[in-house]
């Protein structure tokens, strides 16, 4: 990450506008820090809240000039499109129900887009964004940030390199405890967006973390889920939104898998884990110990891979910034997604060819495939757990 390909290609940083992620949002801070880490973006415009006054004042609080601290997203998009020094790329981190509207408007105005997951709340909306991306040729980066970890990329590269043989089994789980408490908001007081199916999407747990787990399995294995037999529901009695989902998986190469996600496991923090087993061995990675990737070969003792340690493959090597043994984690992984998207955007804007290894960030097609999976797991559950096609 020593070179700055954006400066090389454009002679300047990309101008970034952010929509959402204002006061109270954890992920907004992460996006802005990730964008800054490798110095490829300059944050010049923002619409940070649905409340116009809070939006303006939060933007000013970030040091955005007063004419570019906008009262809302539409004002940002229109005013920036009209400026000769307007933003190049718009990053969207608002509640799920507004992703489609803002992303579609941004693409129509010629902005490259970075958008948080889930891409949209419905498959139709996701497919619509895929079409707009195809028609415009613009870059669309979806922040499935766990695919930015150096050792997740190492795992992908090892699978591509044949080091585990043909993949036969995939076990992915994303277990959190944030909703283990049994006091949900009272609908009579107005629901926070995540608890409202119109705003949060058809399944709270699937939108929040199910899409991440599914994307991680696809990213590492390069396989697609062909069929699911699932159950979605609430562990906490009386809860009106989903707090768990489980599914048996059949992949397109015949591999079998399990998928388990919940936000109601008391005391668990952010336990995203994956095990991929092939004909030659198994790989295991756990987000809470992100500096260790375990390889269990079929016929040799177990081995660890570490960021930039022996055996590091090129995709992982370009995803670390410091020498082996120095911890890098969540923020750096998030920054890898931003920095790779920046390289692709700068290349597109300058007519250059990006490094092919910069093109592993998730995109609109990944988002649509994620929503297709969400839909299939819900449909299977509603039909009593029957095997359900996840490809259409
Ligand atoms: N990638 C990840 O790991 C990750 C983690 C958390 C959240 N997210 C995603 O980020 C998005 C936001 O989630 P959150 O947890 O930050 O929600 P949140 O409710 O904590 O914060 C949302 C922020 O956006 C602002 N906002 C709301 N509507 C807006 C609008 N129309 N225009 C401008 N600003 C607006 C709010 O004022 C608030 O500051 C969701 O899509 C969620 O799925 C992703």
Please enumerate in sequence order all residues whose Cβ is within 8 A of that of 180, keeping only pairs 6 or more positions apart, or say none.
236, 263, 264, 265, 266, 267
**Pairwise CA distance, residues 341 & 276, whole Å:** 27
What predicted TM-score, i.e. pTM, was given to this entire model?
0.98
Query: Which protein residue's CA is at the shortest distance from atom 16 of ligand 1?
Result: 25
Question: From the CB of residue 144, how many other CB atoms can be counted at a distance below 10 Å?
Answer: 26
Which of 147, 166, 155, 150 is closest to 295 using CA atoms? 155
* Stretch (H or E) spanning 141: strand 140-142
CA of 193 to the centre of ligand 1 (A): 9
pLDDT in tens, 138-186: 999 999 999 999 999 999 999 999 999 999 999 999 999 999 999 999 9
pLDDT of res. 3? 84
pLDDT of res. 372? 98
- Contact between 167 and 253 under an 8 Å Cβ cutoff? The reply is yes
Query: Which protein residue's CA is at the shortest distance from atom 20 of ligand 1?
Result: 25
Q: Please, what is the average pLDDT of the chain? A: 97
Q: Which residues line ligand 1 (CB under 6 A)?
A: 19-28, 47-50, 73, 93-96, 98, 116-117, 143, 145
**Pairwise CA distance, residues 200 & 198, whole Å:** 6
* Stretch (H or E) spanning 338: helix 330-350
CA of 347 to the centre of ligand 1 (A): 29
Checking if the pLDDT of 71 tops 90, the result is yes
Tell me which of 18, 19, 20 to substitute to probe ligand 1's pocket, judged by most ligand atoms within 8 Å of the beta carbon.
20
Checking if the pLDDT of 204 tops 80, the result is yes
- Contact between 143 and 115 under an 8 Å Cβ cutoff? The reply is yes
CA of 93 to the centre of ligand 1 (A): 5
pLDDT of res. 359? 98
pLDDT of res. 1? 53
pLDDT in tens, 238-296: 999 999 999 999 999 999 999 999 999 999 999 999 999 999 999 999 999 999 999 99
Supply the DSSP string of 33-65, one letter for each residue: HHHHHTT-EEEEEEE--SSHHHHHHHHHHTT--
**Pairwise CA distance, residues 293 & 305, whole Å:** 5
Q: What angle do CA 295, 299, 303 make, to 5 degrees?
A: 25
């Amino acid at each position: 990450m020593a070179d700055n390909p954006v400066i090389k290609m454009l002679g300047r940083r990309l101008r970034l506008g952010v929509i959402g992620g204002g006061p109270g949002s954890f992920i907004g801070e992460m996006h802005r820090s990730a964008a800054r880490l490798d110095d490829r973006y300059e944050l010049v415009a923002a619409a940070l809240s649905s409340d116009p006054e809070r939006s303006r004042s939060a933007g000013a609080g970030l040091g955005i000039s007063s004419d570019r601290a906008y009262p809302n997203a539409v004002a940002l998009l229109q005013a920036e499109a009209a400026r000769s020094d307007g933003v190049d790329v718009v990053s969207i981190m608002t509640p799920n129900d507004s992703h489609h509207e803002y992303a579609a408007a941004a693409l129509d105005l010629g902005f490259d887009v970075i958008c948080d997951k889930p891409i949209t709340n419905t498959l139709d909306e996701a497919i619509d964004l895929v079409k707009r991306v195809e028609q415009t040729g613009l870059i669309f980066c979806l922040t499935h940030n766990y695919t930015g970890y150096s050792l997740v990329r190492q795992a992908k590269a090892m699978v591509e390199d044949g080091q585990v043989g043909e993949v036969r089994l995939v076990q992915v789980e994303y277990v959190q405890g944030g909703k283990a408490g049994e006091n949900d908001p009272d609908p009579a007081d107005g629901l926070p967006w995540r608890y409202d199916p119109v705003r949060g999407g058809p399944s709270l747990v699937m939108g929040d973390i199910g899409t991440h787990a599914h994307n991680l399995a696809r990213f590492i294995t390069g396989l697609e889920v062909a069929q699911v037999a699932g159950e979605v529901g609430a562990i906490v009695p009386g809860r009106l939104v989903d707090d768990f989902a489980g599914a048996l998986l059949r992949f397109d190469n015949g591999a079998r898998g399990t998928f388990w996600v919940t936000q109601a496991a008391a005391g668990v923090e952010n336990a995203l884990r994956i095990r991929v087993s092939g004909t030659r061995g198994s790989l295991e990675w756990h987000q809470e110990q992100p500096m260790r990737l375990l390889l269990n070969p079929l016929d040799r003792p177990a081995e660890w891979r570490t960021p930039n340690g022996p055996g590091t493959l090129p995709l992982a090597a370009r995803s670390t910034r410091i020498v082996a043994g120095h911890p890098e984690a969540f923020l750096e992984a998030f920054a890898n997604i931003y920095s790779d998207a920046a390289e692709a955007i700068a290349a597109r804007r300058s007519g250059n060819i990006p490094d092919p290894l910069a093109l592993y960030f998730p995109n609109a097609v990944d988002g649509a495939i994620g929503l297709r999976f969400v839909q299939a797991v819900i449909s299977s559950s509603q039909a009593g757990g029957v095997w359900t096609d996840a490809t259409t």
